[in-house]
A and B are shown apart, each in its own frame.
Chain A
Amino acid sequence: MNKKMSYILIVSALLLQAFAWVVLKFILNYSFEPDALLYEEGATVMTASLLAVFGGGGVIMSAYAIYLSLFKGNWKSILVSLLLFLPVLFLSAFHFIAFLMLCAMI
């Protein structure tokens, strides 16, 4: 597996999670005002978008990393990529499925 690509994928996946954490933190501390319907709608859209981006993006990145290690890497890189990216894949898939359920798509 291309080492540079591996670094890029890991950093991107971590940045994606950091971004999700910051936005979730904002939503957790969010204060609803009685007539702030627009804010509620905004928070709803933001949470759904976050889950879609974090989940969908994470699935694509971790799947691509696993694919690269299988196709171009050696046994060592396959093991490393599975150890690193399988947890990310599970977390990302969980977020993406949560997004689909929240949008009542499945």
Chain B
Amino acid sequence: MLRRSLSLLITLSIVVLTAVFILRISDRPFRFKSKEKRSYTLAAVVIRDNVTPFQKLGSRLFTVPLLNKQYDHFVYFTQYSKTGKEQAFKDSLYNFLLRYDSIDIYLLAHGNVFYSWLDTFPRKLLGKVRLVYNTGCGNSSQAYLWLDIMGVKTYVAHSGAKSQSPVFYFYFLRRLVAGVNIKDAVSAANDKAVGLFSIMALFDDTYGQNEFIEGSKALYFVKIALPDE
């Protein structure tokens, strides 16, 4: 009906517009920074709790390729029981704290008390922990423990009793790995998550409730260094 070149042009336009629309409602593409350009060494320890196989697989599928791009070394643990992998987690973290300049810890778990695993770690050593990100519902209440008692530099967590932290985590990790600083990554990921909730609220009222939105946003806590520390 139409000329070959015009048909081709219209088809390609439809494909491109489709891709752009999907990227617009999900997330924009990133140019990930090379880890070789960083002046310090960075490692990460990740733990996923004992959830359904699909959730375990999804977390792993999403997290591992991104960590590969940013970290000099990382370990990813999946629990198969409530207290599983404790010794392996502690050994890896201790080893990393001795070997690397800076460490990030990702606690991909429902409401948890992983801080209790680290109570024998020297506080000075834990001072090398740059970030603890905790997906656990209501675990923002642990900020004092992580920052003041354990001595880590930054703690990011959610306050809601039923927070949608996976949505935040998707946007947050992509930005962090792309080289955005932690504070800005938290802020941008919160904005993106709220944007998605507003779309989902068209189908389910829960996503539009203020309590749900505020509880799902991540809170950023930072340690204020005192002169004698």
A-B contacts, 21 listed (Cβ < 8 Å): A27-B54, A30-B57, A33-B80, A44-B57, A44-B61, A44-B64, A48-B61, A63-B12, A66-B11, A67-B7, A67-B8, A70-B2, A89-B15, A90-B22, A93-B19, A101-B27, A102-B62, A103-B65, A104-B65, A104-B68, A104-B177
Indicate the size class of the contact surface on chain A.
35 or more
Residues of B within 8 A of A (CB): 1-2, 4, 6-8, 10-12, 14-15, 18-19, 21-23, 26-27, 29-30, 32, 53-54, 56-57, 60-62, 64-66, 68-69, 78, 80, 84, 174, 177
Q: Name A87-106 residues within 8 Å CB distance of B.
A: 89-90, 93-94, 97, 101-104, 106
- Bound state CA distance, A63 and B78, in angstroms? 40
Q: Tell me which residues across on chain A come within 8 A of B69, comparing CB atoms.
A: 104
Q: Which 10 A-B pairs have the closest CB atoms?
A: A106-B29, A70-B7, A104-B65, A71-B7, A67-B11, A30-B53, A93-B18, A34-B80, A104-B66, A28-B54
Q: Which residues of A contact B62 (CB under 8 A)?
A: 101-102
| A66-B11, A70-B1, A97-B22 known; A102-B65 Cβ under 8 A | yes
A63-B15 in contact (CB<8A):
yes
Residues on the A chain within 8 Å of B84, using CB: 34
Other-chain contact of A59, B1, B15, B30 (Cβ < 8 Å): B15
